[in-house]
Amino acid sequence: MILQPETLSQDVLAFMRKTSIMSAAINGAPPISTVLLFTVDDDFTMYFATLEGSYKVRGLQKDGQMSIAIWEHHELYLQGSGVASIVADPNKVTKIVDRLADSAVNIADFWPPVLQIKGHDYVVFELKLSWLRARDLSDTTIVEKTTKFMEVPLDE
């Protein structure tokens, strides 16, 4: 994907919606890494769900800090971080879980375990990114003298 500054935010949002899977690092004790299904709003607010009482939930309750990575081979690589908090509004939780299920439909050969959680044994989180950057992976050049990452404006 060739990134252009004038369409960067829209292109990154479209990529995130198409991909819907992120790797995450969470400041737990011990630190936690995981893969999560997500959905994203137009303002780059991200949502994900996980099993209640899990290491992820306990780590995020500590301070909410998490880093993410999203990538697709030969296309795009995103890095970012922010603060996650629990979504308490039951109506919003229901809408987000529906959006997560819709996201999973577009992913070939992937059925995330969170969608198999019965009843109310899951927690939905909202992730407010403090920064996000994108790197075009369509270029096959590995050696570079300057970074090819582009900062994604989150306040547009």
Q: Where are the domains of the chain?
A: 5-151
Cα torsion through 137, 142, 146, 149, rounded to 10 = 20
Task: Encode pLDDT of 78-132 as tens digits.
Answer: 999 999 999 999 999 999 999 998 888 777 766 666 556 555 588 999 999 999 9
CA 66, chain centre distance (Å) = 10
Name, of 39-48, 54-63, 97-106, 144-153, the range with top average pLDDT. 39-48
Q: Which residues pair with 86 in a beta bridge?
A: 125
The helix or strand, by DSSP H or E, that contains position 105, with its residue range, turns out to be helix 90-105
| ∠ Cα 19 22 25 (to 5°) | 170
Q: What are phi and psi of 47, to 5 degrees?
A: -135, 145
Q: What are phi and psi of 67, to 5 degrees?
A: -115, 150
DSSP for residue 19? H
With 0-12 / 13-18 / 19 or more C-beta atoms within 10 angstroms meaning exposed / middle / buried, residue 94 is exposed
Give the pLDDT confidence score for residue 139 in this predicted structure: 74
Alpha carbons within 13 angstroms on the beta-carbon side of residue 127 total: 27
CATH match for 5-151 among 2.30.110.10, 3.20.20.70, 3.40.50.10490, 3.40.50.300: 2.30.110.10
